[in-house]
Amino acid sequence: MTEVKKKHETMVTLFLYLLGFLLLWEWLRPVDELTNTGNIYIFLGFLFLCLAISFSKIRFLLGALLKTVYILYFIHYYYFEGSFFQFSWFSQFLDDFILNISYSFQMEWTALTFVFRSLLFFILLWLMAYLINYWLIIRRQIFIFFFMTLVYITVLDTFTPYEADGAIVRTVVVGFGVMGMLTFQRLVEREAIGKGLASIRKWGLPLFIMIGASVALGFGGPKAAPIWPDPVPYLTSYSEDSGAGAGGQRVGYGTDDTSLGGPFIGDDTVVYETEVDQRHYWRVETKDIYTGKGWEVSSSDDPIPFTQNEVFPISSFNQEGLEVKELTANVSSVRNYPHIIYPLGLKSVSTENISNSFRVNEGLEKVYTLEGGRTASLEEYTVSYDIPRYSVTAMKATESLEASGLSQEFLYRYTQLPETLPQRVKDLALEITGEQKTWFDKARAVEKYFGMNGFTYDQMDVAIPGAEDDYVDQFLFESLKGYCDNYSTSMVVLLRSVGIPSRWVKGYTEGEYQGPTESGKRGYTITNNNAHSWVEVYFPEVGWVPFEPTQGFSSNVQFNFDETSQSSTDVETPETEEQPDVKKPETPEETVSSESSFSWKGLWDNIVAGMVEHWKKGLLLLGIMVVLAFIAYKLRLKWLPYVLVLVFRFRKKDDDFSRAYLALLKQLDRYGIKRKDHQTLRDYADYVDFFFSSKDMGTLTSQYERYVYKGKLEEGCWDRSRELWENLIKKTIA
C-alpha cells in the first residue's frame, strides 16, 4: 500500500510540473512572435531540463553542472566555431563576458552582444524554473504567478500585434487546474486526508468538469461588445494628430516659428542616426527677429554655394582666441529632408556622391543639399568641425556696447526687440543682471534665473498667447511653464533688453545613445522628440557661444577658466647685500658640537650595525609594513571616505567648500565614476546624480561654479552644503 501511495504522489507531482511547464511556455510564445529571438525551442528545452532535474531530485551541484553544460553547449553551437571540447572558444567567450560586464556597469545596454543576451536569457529561465519549483512543491501556492501570466498575456494582446485569444484560454485552464491540485495537496497535508487514488478522483473529477464547463460556456455564450474601444488605434491616431486642438501640435522640426506656444505631443519617429566622438547639439537654422509671438528671419541674402570638402563660408567663432579640437561625425538621414544637420564650428561637408554640392542661407545659416543644381535629400554624409574651449577671460573682457567694437548694423540685428514688448520684461532683465559687470556674467545670470525661480518644464499645460499677449511676457510672469521654445526665446529677449547680442537657434539634441559603433565612435539615434531650441550669445573676442536655459537640459559647451597671473619674470628681484665669507666645514663629519660627543658618522655606523645584526627581523617588519600598506591601499574606498568626512567636519570656513568639492571629485574618480576628457562640470554632475539617483552633486556643482565665476562664496555656504557633501562621500564607500 505504501508503494502505491508513493506512485500516486509521484504522478501528482509529475502532473504539477507539466502544468507548470505549460505556464512557463506561455511566457515564451510572445517572445518568439514579437522579437528577433530565434530557435525558441532551445530555451523550451532548457526549461524542461530544469524542471526535470527538480522533479528527479538530483543534487544541487550536479544539477547546476548539467544546466551549465547545456547553456555553454548551445551558446557554442550558435555563436562559435570549432569543436565544443576545444576550449579555445571558451577564452573568446570569457573576453566577451568581461566586455559586457563593463558595458553593464556603464549602463550601455544597447552595446550588449547577442552572446551575453542569450546567456542572460538562460539565467532568467533558470530563475523562473526555480521559482516554479518553489511555488509548486514548497509553498503549494501558484496564484501570484498565474495572475502575473494573465496580466502579461492580456497586456501584450492589447498593446502589441500578439493575438492572445488561445493563450488566455490555455492559461485559465492550466492555472485553475494547478490551483485546484495545490489546494487538494494542502488539505491532505493539513487535515490528514487519504492520498489514495479514490481521494484524488473525488477531488479532481469535479475540478476538471468545472473548468471544462466554464471554458465551454465562455466559448459558446453570447458576448457583449467592448465598453472601451481598442486603445492602440486611439493612441496611434492621437500621436499622429498634428493639429492645434486638444491634442496639441506634434513635436519635431518645423519651418514656421511665427506663432509659438501651446502643447505638443511626443513623437519617437527616428529622423537621424549619427556616429560621433562626443555628444553635441545639432544645428539646423537660426532666427533673429522676435515679433512678440514668435520668430522670423531678417536677412534675405542670396544663398552662398560651396562644394564638398570646401571650407564652410560662415565662421561661428574667432579661432585665434580659442583652443579647438578638430573632429568628424557621420550622419545618416532617415527622413528625406533637403537640409543637413551640423554642429557649431562646421568646417566642411563630404559625401560619397561627388555630384552633391551645398548652399547655405546666410540669414538662417541653414545648409541645403544640391544635386545637379536642384535641392535634393542626402542619405549619408560626413561633417568636419571644430569643438572649441571658450576662454572665460576673453568673454569677460566685454562689459559694454561702447567697448565691444561691433558695428551698428550687427547690433541692430541681434539686439532687435518689438516696440510692443512690455516694460516689465526689460525691468526684469535689469534686475537679473544688475549686479553683473561683464556680458558673460550677465548671460550666465539669465541662464540660471529659470532654475532658481519656480519655472517648470511642461509639454502639455503650455499657454498660447492671445492677441494682446506677448509670448515671453506671458511665460515670465503668468504661466511659468513651458518647453524649450519658451525658455530659449525668453533668454534671448532678456539679454537683448540689456544690449547683449544674441540669437535663437533650433535643431536637435544629441539623441539617444546606442553604444559604440564599428568605426569606434559613439552611436546616437535622433528622433522627433529630440527637436530642441537654445540660445547663442555673441562675444567680440570669441564669437557665438551656446547657452542652455531650458530646465532638464544641459549642453556640452566647454569653458576654459584661464585666470591670468603675473609672470615671475615681471617681478623685479631686489639686489641682495654682499655677505661676509663664512668658512664651511669640508665634510659633515667635521661638524661636532662643542658641548656634545654626537656625530652624524657615529649615528650612521650604529644604524648600519643594527641592520646587519637584525636584518631578518628588519626584512620581516618591512614585509609586514608593505603588506599592510598594500591592504590599506586596496581598501582605501572603505576607509578613506570616513577620513575625509572627519577632516572636513571640523572645518568651519566657507573657503573650505572649494577644497571639499575638489576632494569629492578625486574620491568619485577613485570610486570609478571618472570625468571624461572635455566633459563639463555640469555634465559630470548630471551623470553622478543619475548614477546615485540624487540631486546632491548638481547642487554642489552650482555652488562651485558660482564660486568660480564670482571668486567668492556666499556666507554660510559650507554649512548649508556640508550634509550634501557628506552624503555623496559616504555613497562612494565600496
Q: Does domain 395-508+531-560 have CATH number 3.40.50.970?
A: no
pLDDT tens digits for range 504-526: 999 999 999 898 888 889 999 99
pLDDT tens digits for range 371-423: 877 778 888 999 999 988 888 888 888 888 877 788 899 999 999 999 999 99
Instruction: Tell me the β-bridge partners of 482.
Output: 457
Higher pLDDT, 5 or 91: 91
pTM reported for the whole predicted model: 0.47
Start-to-end CA distance of the chain, whole Å, equals 60
Helix (H, G, I), strand (E, B) or coil at 152: helix
User: What are the backbone dihedrals phi and psi of residue 282, each rounded to the nearest 5 degrees, phi first?
Assistant: -110, 120
Distances in whole angstroms, Cα of residue 231 to Cα of each of 154, 155, 157, 225, 522: 13, 11, 11, 15, 37
User: What are the backbone dihedrals phi and psi of residue 256, each rounded to the nearest 5 degrees, phi first?
Assistant: -95, 110
Task: Please state, in angstroms and rounded to a whole number, the distance separating the CA atoms of residues 372 and 369.
Answer: 10
Task: Please state, in angstroms and rounded to a whole number, the distance separating the CA atoms of residues 723 and 725.
Answer: 5
What per-residue confidence (pLDDT) applies to 589? 38
Do residues 356 and 310 make contact, with C-beta atoms less than 8 angstroms apart? Answer: no
- Give burial (CB, 10 Å; 0-12/13-18/19+) of 499: middle
Distances in whole angstroms, Cα of residue 168 to Cα of each of 21, 212, 231, 484, 570: 16, 14, 19, 45, 86
Closest to 90 in 3D by CA, of 70, 111, 75, 104: 75
Domain positions in the chain are 36-139, 395-508+531-560, 633-731
DSSP string, 618-637: HHHHHHHHHHHHHHHHHTHH
- For 202-221, letters b (16+ CB in 10 Å) and e give ebbeebeeebeeeeeeeeee
Task: Please state, in angstroms and rounded to a whole number, the distance separating the CA atoms of residues 222 and 10.
Answer: 41
User: What are the backbone dihedrals phi and psi of residue 396, each rounded to the nearest 5 degrees, phi first?
Assistant: -75, -5
| Type and span of the H or E element at 440 | helix 439-449
Alpha-carbon dihedral sign for residues 357, 360, 365, 368: negative
What per-residue confidence (pLDDT) applies to 575? 39
Task: Please state, in angstroms and rounded to a whole number, the distance separating the CA atoms of residues 70 and 76.
Answer: 10
Cite the DSSP H helix spans in 330-372.
none
Percent of the chain with pLDDT over 90: 25
The answer on pLDDT for 594 being more than 50 is no
The answer on pLDDT for 673 being more than 80 is yes
Average pLDDT over residues 202-208: 70
Average pLDDT along the chain: 80
Task: Please state, in angstroms and rounded to a whole number, the distance separating the CA atoms of residues 698 and 156.
Answer: 39
- Under the banding of pLDDT at 50, 70 and 90, the label for residue 189 is low
Q: At what angle do helices 484-497 and 423-433 cross, to 10 degrees?
A: 80
pLDDT tens digits for range 119-167: 998 999 899 888 888 888 877 788 888 888 888 888 887 777 777 778 8
Cell representation of residue 476:
515670465
Helix (H, G, I), strand (E, B) or coil at 113: coil
